[in-house]
Every structure is written in C-alpha cells, then in structure tokens.
Amino acid sequence: MTKKDGTYHHGDLRRALLAAAVEAIGESGPSAVSLRDLARRAGVSHAAPAHHFGDKAGLLTVLAAEGYDRLADTLRPVIAQTGSLVETGVAYIRFAVDHRAHFEVMFRPELYDRHDPAVLAARQRATETLAAAVATRGGDSGDARMDGLAAWSIVHGFATLWLGGALPADLGPDPEAAGRPVLRRLVDRP
Amino acid sequence: MTKKDGTYHHGDLRRALLAAAVEAIGESGPSAVSLRDLARRAGVSHAAPAHHFGDKAGLLTVLAAEGYDRLADTLRPVIAQTGSLVETGVAYIRFAVDHRAHFEVMFRPELYDRHDPAVLAARQRATETLAAAVATRGGDSGDARMDGLAAWSIVHGFATLWLGGALPADLGPDPEAAGRPVLRRLVDRP
C-alpha cells in the first residue's frame, strides 16, 4: 500500500487510516478512537486524518456506511441461495464476528452522522435486505413489521452477547453453529 | 453525602466515586473511564479512586456485580407477580434503560474481573432468575436451555438496539410498550 519512499498514495492513505481505525476500535471500542492515535498507527502526520475525514465523527460515519454496505452484501446472497430467515440470521451473526469494529460503530449512531447520505443509502439497503429475509418466512403472524423487529432483536442480541463473551463457554467456538438452534426458536414455530 | 468540612465519610466517598463512574460511562462508555477523571468529578484527590478500587478494572468489577444484583432484584418480583416471560423480558428492557451504565459494563467482561466472587454470585442470581422466567412459559419446546438463550437474545437485542438509537422512531418513546409486542413474537407461539 505504500510507495517505495514510504509515503502513501492518496487513496491508500485513506484505506490505511480506516484500517488503523478498525484496529483501534477492536482494542478499546469506538468511543476511545482518536485521530491522533490513528495517525501514529499509520505512521503519518497528525494532520492526515483530519484532511481525509474532518473529525472523528467523519471517520466513524465512513465506517458506519461501509458496515451497512457490507452487511447488505453479506446477507443478500444468503437469502437468494437459501431462502431461509434462520440462515440469514446466522450470516448476520457471522458478519458481526468478522466485522466487529464496523458492527460496533453501526449501532452507536450518536458517534457519527446518521443523516449522512452514504449512511442513509447503505442502511436502507441493509434494512430492505433484512425485510426480504423476514418475508421468506412461512407462517406469517400477520404483522410483518413486528416479525422483522423480533428477528432483528434475536440475531442482534445473540451476536452482541457472543461478542461480549457473555454466553456459556460450552456453546463451543463457532458462533454460527451456536446461534442456529437459538434462532430456530423464533422462526420454526411448532 | 459530605461532612460539613466538605470531605467525605469513607463509604460516602466510595458511593460518590461509583456515581461519578456511572455519569462518565453514560457520557462516553466504559472503555473511556479513567480513575483520574472520576477523582476530578468527585472533587477528591487523584489517589482516592485507587485507594477504593485498586484500578479501573477493580472499579468496573464493582459496577458489574452491582448491575447483576440489581437485574436479579428487578426481575424477581416481576416473575413472582406476573408469572410471565414477556413481562420479565419487558422488565429486562426497562433495567437496561434505567441502568444503562451498569448494563454496558456487565456485557463487557473483558473490562473487569469476571471471576471476582461478588460478580460470580450476582451473575448466578441473575441467571437463575432468567431461568425461572423461562420456566414460567407454557408450550415448552423440549429444550429449556435453547429456549433460555433465545429469550435472553431477543430481550438483550431489543434493549441494545433501543439504547443505540437504532430502532425506528415511530415505535414511540416508551421502551416497554415498544418491546412487549416484539417479545410476544418469541413467546406466544400460534
């Protein structure tokens, strides 16, 4: 990503700063991020992050939009291939584990500009994708909106408890395998 | 809480520091707490927090144990009075909203000593209380453990999404009223 003299191309520096942010958030969460620390991690001047993102909220806004985009990109093929709300929920859990920093930022909207056009567009894509997953489900209860909120709550709750290390250790190391029977409790009504 | 000369009694200082921690966590989350900041907020010497809690992890360990204790204390009378898993879940959501700082700490066990005896005892009380709530439910699916994890996931997910400001604004201002029909999707199987 660097040129031979150790400096970055413009787009590469932006990516390097976002990667440094993901690393920093993985260590101590989105609240503790500072642009100064990101510059240090990327080995660039203190002014570089402000040049690219304006301020910390600007940086987190980019990560939030990226996160919603990736979530939609993750879920869409699963719905298309499986037509299963449970498997879509399992993919949501996998997304949270694989993209933990993005996931943590996405659900802390007080830290970024939730009205940013890129965030709104990406969020809309993700919301429509989740709604499509809920619509795949047989045995509609008659209130698709509440069904959607229930499905979102259970997958989000499981993912958050898993990331927080709060679940019993004997569920094993694989969040997909652990989550699947839990999600079935909501979806596979007897 | 202070003596006439502006100093604290020993137990009062401890409570004042915990209250300062709750305030600080409410502003920027548990990762960003520093003992130095708590001393400043409580108007005491820099050495006072370390004297009472050792270090930041020690302080958060006290809050985690307090949180699990309060959660058990919140849920127990609801189960006794209503015998309803949905109403117990609604009380869980209310707890998360009313004790947001404690709730955030409880589910960040990497920040505190999860093997501390007070945490283990309080957590055990809360776990048993949640298990009792799941046991109140009719129509057992045959796997009470998975039922429990599903119930915990859906209430935790709803509470977390609510606290994060991620849910649609038209759900209204009352998390209990908004959460009740969502939790019913899991519990009231058709």
For residues B110 and A101, the model is more confident at A101
Residues A79 and A166 in one domain: yes
Same domain? B137 vs B176: yes
CB contact B57 to A (< 8 Å):
no
Q: Best mutation site among A25, A128, A141, A154 for testing chain B: the one with the most B CBs within 10 Å?
A: A154
Other CB atoms within a 10 A radius of the CB of residue A151 amount to: 28
Residues A67 and A150 in one domain: yes
Q: Does A124 touch chain B (CB under 8 A)?
A: no
Say if residue A84 is in the same domain as residue A43: no
Identify whether the C-beta of residue B161 lies closer than 8 Å to the C-beta of residue A152. yes
CATH of the domain at B41: 1.10.10
Q: Looking at the predicted structure, is the pLDDT value of residue B3 above 90?
A: no
Based on the domain organization, do A143 and A110 belong to the same domain?
Answer: yes
- The predicted-structure confidence for A142-161, as pLDDT tens digits, reads as follows 678 888 899 999 999 999 99
Based on the domain organization, do A113 and A147 belong to the same domain? yes
Torsion angles phi and psi, residue A107, rounded to 5: -100, 25
What distance in Å separates residue A43's CA from the closest CA in chain B?
24
In angstroms, the CA B147 to CA B144 distance is 5
Domain of B32 in residue numbering reads as 1-54
Claim to verify: residue B68 and residue B48 sit in the same structural domain: no
pLDDT at residue B190 in the model: 43
Q: Is the dihedral of CA B190, B151, B101, A33 positive or negative?
A: negative
Reported ipTM: the value is: 0.88
Q: What is the pLDDT of residue A61?
A: 97
CA–CA separation, A186 vs A166, rounded Å? 21
In this prediction, residue A132 carries a pLDDT of 87
**Pair A1, A31 in one domain:** yes
Sign for the pseudo-dihedral over CA of A43, A48, A53, A54: positive
Q: pLDDT (tens digit, 9 = 90+) per residue, A72-88?
A: 999 999 999 998 999 99
A178 and A88 together in one domain: yes
Question: Are A154 and B149 within 8 A, CB to CB?
Answer: no
Rounded to the nearest 5°, which phi and psi values hold at A138?
-75, 165
pLDDT category of residue B1 using cuts at 50, 70 and 90: very low
d(CA B107, CA B156): 10
Residues B92 and B126 both lie in one domain: yes
* Number of domains comprising chain B: 2
Model confidence band, residue A22 (pLDDT cutoffs 50, 70, 90) = very high
Pair (A21, A98) in one structural domain: no
What is the CATH number for B172? Answer: 1.10.357.10
Task: Answer yes or no: do A50 and A135 share one domain.
Answer: no
